[in-house]
Structure formats: structure tokens, C-alpha cells
Structure 1
């Protein structure tokens, strides 16, 4: 199940997409989550299985926005909040505090605790927050893009995978002399202010790699005017140097000799990595927060095959697995003694996206292809063996558990694709036999099955489906090697950034050249809208536009499956992209 992460609603993990993304208020965590424990750290190792291979210590970048990267980031970074298994935003006051100090205009004050350090001993201070704001806000961008997403004028600095809407109306003010507090002032209301975490990469590392001094970079960020696409200017050399490194400089295929590329501010630090095999994390000695693990070593094994994960669990080679859910996998797990199996609904969905170019530049061809997609067959064969009452997903923007789902389905036009309609597809094609290059993850059994079913059904209407499935599908998103792609998004469970991130023409995760002026308008309106009912209505309208344009099709919501050995306790089901790691500090080990 390899996915991206969808920032503020997150690409789907188990399946593998800062400000919460689809990445992406004072609440309390259920079960005491986040409370400090004084229990001694046990000399023990917990081993977990993950589907995808690690690729980057910058999960916020366009190239690093994969589920596994986000999970390692979660283990190795501290911040002002985390998301609980009931999808509440829970402040981590052992890192610092943030609070609204003015509602009109909206101003949020961030205060760091004293003594916070990166794992190299460098202090965590407002310089890091200011840089994080610059990297994830898009405030300096003045780029204009063509229909293919290429910059035709101006500059896009940071290739941030999430949505910058709302944050891009903000300004840094009142930076304290002791570098422990600052205020973020917004020009407009912003519904998701409480998931703007600011902390990102260590600014002293970025500055060093960019060849600039930290003071120079920070002063430039604070003094440079906002970008204006209508009046682009020459690129700022200092910010561009930092952005150029940030965009890809933390991507890796093996553990670098330079430890500054994998620093930690969190409870864990990367100790070693054997590519394609496993990664070992150790307790970070510089971490002083409350979310301290109760064991000293965490090993992440990369096991793509669900049955191989089950076998590893049965053989006690791993303690926790989150395999792609299937009837065979569930049956195999239920036959193992001495383990606990946890089930629930993932905040993820599989979908088919069409590129608005090549054969799919023609709306008739798009509609014809979508009429051939055997969605009910996929649900019956892939999902119902795990979730007996599973149904086809009929919204791009809501899942069935959300109150607005039924209203959206009644309005959005998804009924045009309720059943396979080969004759209707043939009529739209009018004798044409388009060749469609369909990309998917060849290591994901559900994606392989979906490809085969779509290939067979579409052929009946005259389509020629070319197999361009591959292992590195994630890095190819947005490229010109495919016409359609099957993958998944998974959400953090908080925030409202889905439309601006994925479906707006300016979105950091718009991979298929889709552009709709009304969807763009909705994408800029939702972040500044505080009425949740109004947000639902705007989202339903955008959902309707997506179906009207034959954007693609949602297939099904992903079922969630976790299993762990009896020696590991404290694990709960978590449906967002963090998965069961969300409360690693509550895990205990019995030998």
C-alpha cells in the first residue's frame, strides 16, 4: 500500500501525502496521551514493519512527501502539537505553547520552551520557526504557471507539498530578543491556524548548505516583501539558495556521511539504515520533552508484501505490522495465537486520476474511460472480504463517516459512473481506440488487481491499456510517462487543505494538470471561512465540479488493519497517515 500524504486532509500510507497535509486549540488526548512518564527507558528493541522504503528526511517537500518519510519525521521531530487517535489537535506543552492573542485581526503567539536543542546541540529558537514559516507559506512566490505547471514568469522558491492558502496571508512580528517567542499575524481569518506548526528543518543546516549565514537568511526572510505574481521581480538570491537546497537536499538513497542531514529534535534519532532492508532509531539524548519512549531502540523493517509481514509477525521477527488489508491477510492473522489484531477505517481512499493532456485532453475520452471502470467489482473482490458492508466511494472530497457525504453524493454527479457502461463509452469514442498508459505501484496487490480489472474492462470499449506500472511510481507523479494513475491519499484527520493542495491549479500536489477557475476560487475561500457548514457547501460544489470535468474516479475507502505481538502493549488503532506510531511514548515492552 504505497501512498503519498495529503496535507491537511494527507498520499496514502499502508496503501504511502508543517501544516497538516492530506501533511497537513487546546484539546486533551484520550487515554492520557502526551502525559510525561517517569518510567525508566528499558534496554529493549521494538521492531515494526513498514510497506515503503524511506527516501527523505524532508517529508514536507514535493519529492519527500511519502508516508514513511512522514512517519520517520514524526519520530524524530518535536512540535507544538500532535494529532490523537480521535483526530484531536493536542498541544505538546513540553515543546512550547501557541495561542490566539488577537481574533481581529488574527494573531497567534508562539513561545518555545527554554533549553530545546537539535541533536547536534544547536539550540532550537525562533530562527528555526521563521525559516519554517518561509518554507511552508509560499509568501515569497511570484510565479505564474502554464497549463503544464511550468513556471513562465517569476519564481517559485520552496517546492512545498502542502497547501499554503491562509498561511500566505501572514506576517512574522514581535520576535523576542531571547529568540523564544514570535507572533504570526494574519491579514484574513484562517480556519486552520491551530495546525500551523512552523517548526521545519534546522535553519543552521539549511543556511550552511546554501552558503549563507543564519543571520543573513533570517533578516532576509523578515525584510523581503511578499511575492506578487502580477509584478514579479528578480529572484532573491539568499532565499533561493536556501530553497534550492531545501527542495531536494534532504533526499537520500542511503544514510549520508554528513549527520546534519538527519538531525533530530524529537524523541528518536536515526542511528543506521540498510537501504531496502531496515532503519534503526535510538533514543535522542538531547530530547527533553514529555513524549519519551519507554524502550531504547526502534527498528523499522521495510517489507512491501502483506503476507511477508504476516509471516514476520508470526515468526516474532517483528512486533507490529500495518499490512494492506485483505481477506487473505485478515484470515492469516486470525490464525496466529498470541497477537492482537486491530481493525478500523483508514482516512484514505484509492482513486484513479486522469492527466488533462494527451488522449485525456478530450473530455469525451475522459468520460468514456471512466464509464469502463469496474468500481463495484473492485470493492467486491478487494474490500468486502475485510469490510462486509463496504461500498463504492462516490466522492473525491468526503468519506462516508462524514455527515456531508450523502448530500455530496446526491449532488455531485457521481451517479453517471454508478455502473460500468461499455456501450456508453463506445458511443463517446465514436470508433476511436485510444492508447492509455496506466501507472500504478507494481508492489501493491490491490493496485495490481485494480490495473488488471480496468485493463480488461476498458478493452471492451476499444481502449488499449499500456502497462506502465513501476516501483518508483511516487517519484513519477506529475511526469509525462503516464496518462492515468491509480494511487491513494491518506489524511491526518485535521484541517481543510485538501482542495488547495490537490485540486487547485496552484496546488503543491496537483499532479495531473487539472485547472478549474471555480475550484481555484473555492480553494482560496475555504481557508478564510470559519463557518464549517459553509465549508461543507463549498466542498460539495468543488466535488461537483470534479465529476463534471471527469477528473477521475474515487474507488473505495481503505480498510485499516494493525497487528502486534503480546510483548508490545499500548498500541491503538489510528486511521491517519501516522498510524499506530501516533503514541509511541505510551508503548511498553514486556520480556
Structure 2
């Protein structure tokens, strides 16, 4: 069954889902009778687009992917753009990183700027380190929020991080760095191992990235991590981040808890005045930085690439993603 313009016709596990027009849909009929979603590894998507196996894609961009798309030429179109998604590192508050000293040491060794320079700037030359969680650099209130809430808590200083570990007798503390194993996150993890590991700050960094990290029995859900490296996809609605930082929130994988943050988020969720929202975001961000609840990294550059015969595919910077207007997609004769 379906409440939208399409309904599922068939599903091949790990391969594809086929949607067909819903005969009970009361609105405007979709432009195409059938839409197929294919599951293809990120490293093979550009080739699939070039070969005509797919007509649209929105993978996580990387310099390698951008080079692949550029090499295809005029038979496709694409353009990197901003989106409401950001990379971050969440601590597990039920393990060693309940100790604020260890969180501070990690915040000081993580090479956020290096990640921007090597992995993000080739896609977005104006990219900058993200110093907030509820607002993005392309939003007008971003500078106001950061200037009022951020106090250089995670500017990289490997020597200071090493000193904190030494002062607390914590050299060699195991740090299980969890992530899903896509190419860019593997590169991020390698940079963290170099900066925060034995030859850097002094953690024993274990890269436990794997394809099952997000699964029901994976490390994120079971708490078998010390720092989780992944991204949140959202929108301009500030209430969308609530459950990430509220006590027992559905997205609060690290079990962070602060009653003052809970109260401020409850106020934010009920506030409709944008100026009042900004002040509440400042108050929340200030505490999140004081607690080092999570470390934001960078806003994702987004990219939608389409074949020449794909019409109606439009970029959406929110978590609605590529298929938000799939009912308007159509293939034209070439």
C-alpha cells in the first residue's frame, strides 16, 4: 500500500526497488509510470551513470568522484552545492569518554582543517570548519551563533592533547573509532589515526569502520564504540536536531545528558520567532561546547548528477534527498 503517487511493485534484496504509479493516488498522476532505485556502491555509481544503467545519483561527494564525473563529459550534468548535512564525531558517554579530559584531548587532536583542505575544499573551495550543530555556514545566523557560543575548544593542538593525556595518566587509552566504511570516511579515519594515535596525541586509535556499523546489531546501535564518525542529515527546521542531544533521545547514540539542554531544546521546539530561536540555539550550542558533547566537522557538499535524458530532477539540500520530487521525473527521447 502507499499514501503517495508511487507504490512498491517489487524488491530485490541488495539490488533494487521498483516503484509504479499508485492507481489510488488522488493527486496529479506522476510523470513516469515506473521509477527504479538501484543499490550501487559509491565507487561504481559514476560508471553506472555513464553506462546508462542509472539516470540520476546523489552520492557523498569526494575529490575522486568529482574527477570521475568531470571525465564523463557533456553526456551528464552535475554541480556541487550546499546541504543541511554535517559530519561529526559523537562520544560514547558510557565508556572512557565519560571523562571530560579524554573528550578534550580528542577535540584538540582531531584534524578538522586538514580534512577540509584535502577532502572537502576540492568540492567546495569556500568550505570551512563547522563550529555549530544547529546552524550551517550558508545560513545568515551562523556567524552570530558561532561568535557567541564557540571559544576555540577544538582548534587542533596535538601537543596540548598529548599533555592532557599525560597529566591524567591516560596515554595509550583505547579509542574505537567507528564509521561506515565509505571511501571518504576511511580517509578521515586515517587522518585521525595519524593525528590522535601513538605518533600524535597518544591514543590507541582502533579504526573499526565497517559496512555494518549502522545496522541493528552494529556498533552504533549496540554502543560498541568510543567515538562514532558519521553525519546527520536535516533541514532548516531547528527542531530536527532535538533527539540527538536530549536525554534518552532517539538519535542520542552516545547517551549524552544535560537537564539544561533538555529544557532549552523543549523551548526551541515551541518557539516560532526566528530571533528567539537564534538566542536559544546560542544557549544550547554554548553548553554543547562546554560539555564537548559532540564535535562537528564540516557541512557536506551535496551533488546530484543526471544523464542528459533525465528531466525534472532537482537538487534538495534537506534530508528529503534526491527522490523528493520523483513524481516529476521523466526520461526524454534522445
1:328 paired residue number: 64
Q: Distance in 1 between matches of 2:55 and 2:251?
A: 34
Q: CA deviation at 1:414?
A: 4.6
Please say if 1:404 is aligned against 2:141: yes
Instruction: Indicate the residue corresponding to 1:421 in structure 2.
Output: 157
TM-score (norm 2): 0.93
Match of 2:112 in 1: 375
Q: Quote the Cα distance in structure 2 between the aligned partners of 1:551 and 1:529.
A: 23
- Is there any run of 5+ residues in structure 2 with no aligned partner, and where? none
TM-superposed deviation, 1:395:
0.9
**Map 1:460-475 → 2, pairs under 5 A:** 460-475=200-215
Counterparts of 2:310 and 2:262, CA distance in 1: 46
Which of 63, 79, 89 lines up with 1:352 in the alignment? 89
Structure 1 match to 2:17: 279
Could you tell me whether the CA contact under 8 Å between 1:394 and 1:414 is conserved in 2? no
Q: Over residues 309-359 of structure 1, what are the superposed CA-to-partner deviations in whole Å (9 max), with x where a residue is unaligned?
A: 000011111111112212222222122232121331111000011111221
Alignment partner of 1:436 out of 167, 171, 175: 175
**Alpha-carbon offset, residue 412 of structure 1:** 1.9
| TM-fit CA distance, 1:588 | 2.4
Distance change in 2, residues 1:359/1:574 (3 Å): same
Deviations 1:12-61 (A, max 9, x none): xxxxxxxxxxxxxxxxxxxxxxxxxxxxxxxxxxxxxxxxxxxxxxxxxx
In the alignment, the residues of structure 2 paired with residue 572 and residue 414 of structure 1 have an alpha-carbon distance, to the nearest angstrom, of 38
Partner of 1:267: 5
Once superposed, what is the RMSD of the aligned Cα atoms?
Answer: 1.5
1:568 has 2:307 as partner: no
8 Å contact kept, 2:79–2:304: yes
3-state SS, counterpart of residue 313 of structure 1 = helix
d(CA) in 1 for partners of 2:223, 2:330: 48
Cα offset for 1:499?
Answer: 4.4
SS of residue paired to 1:498: helix
In 1: Cα distance, 2:151 partner to 2:116 partner: 16
- What 5-or-longer segments of structure 1 have no aligned partner? 1-262
Contact 1:374 1:454 in 2 (8 A): yes
| Counterpart contact for 1:343–1:573, Cα < 8 Å | no
The question of whether the paired residues in 1 share the 8 Å contact of 2:57 and 2:322 is answered with: no
Distance 1:267 1:528 in 2: 32
Q: Is the 8 A contact 1:500 1:506 kept in 2?
A: no
Aligned pairs for 1:199-210 within 5 A: none
Q: Which residue of 2 aligns with 1:587?
A: 329
Give the SS at the match of 1:474.
coil
Instruction: Give yes or no for the alignment of 1:446 onto 2:189.
Output: no
Query: Judging changes above 3 Å, is the alpha-carbon distance between structure 1 residues 401 and 311 closer, same or farther for their aligned structure 2 residues?
Result: same
Find the counterpart in structure 1 of residue 45 from structure 2: 309
Q: Judging by fraction of residues, say which structure has more helix.
A: 2
Q: Is the contact between residue 322 and residue 562 of structure 1 (CA under 8 Å) also seen in structure 2?
A: yes
- Secondary structure at 2:318 match in 1: coil
Q: Is the 8 A contact 2:57 2:305 kept in 1?
A: yes
Higher relative contact order (CA 8 A, sep 6+): 2
Conserved? CA contact 2:223–2:254, under 8 Å: no
C-alpha separation in 2, matches of 1:385 and 1:361? 36
**For 1:71-128, what per-residue CA distance to the aligned partner results, in whole angstroms no more than 9, with x for missing partners?**
xxxxxxxxxxxxxxxxxxxxxxxxxxxxxxxxxxxxxxxxxxxxxxxxxxxxxxxxxx
| Residues 1:300 and 2:37 aligned together | yes
For 2:149 and 2:163, the matched residues in 1 are separated by 23
What is the TM-score of this pair, normalised by structure 1?
Answer: 0.53
1:524 to 2:274 alignment: no
- Does the C-alpha gap of structure 1 residues 499 and 343 become closer, same or farther in structure 2, counting only changes over 3 Å? closer
CA contact (8 A) 2:131 2:150 kept: no
Q: Aligned equivalents of 1:395 and 1:528: distance in 2? A: 21
Q: Distance in 2 between matches of 1:510 and 1:414?
A: 24
After superposition, give the CA deviation of every residue in 1:413-472 in whole Å (9 maximum; x if it has no partner): 351212x21221122112422101110011x11111111111111111110012221212
Residues 441 and 472 of structure 1 are in contact (CA less than 8 Å); yes or no, is this contact kept in structure 2?
yes
SS at match of 2:319: coil
Query: Contact 1:359–1:483 at 8 Å: present in 2 too?
Result: yes
CA distance in structure 1 between the aligned counterparts of 2:84 and 2:34, rounded to whole angstroms = 29
Identify the residue that residue 541 of structure 1 maps to in structure 2.
283
Secondary structure of the structure 2 residue equivalent to 1:450: helix
Q: Distance in 2 between matches of 1:278 and 1:495?
A: 31
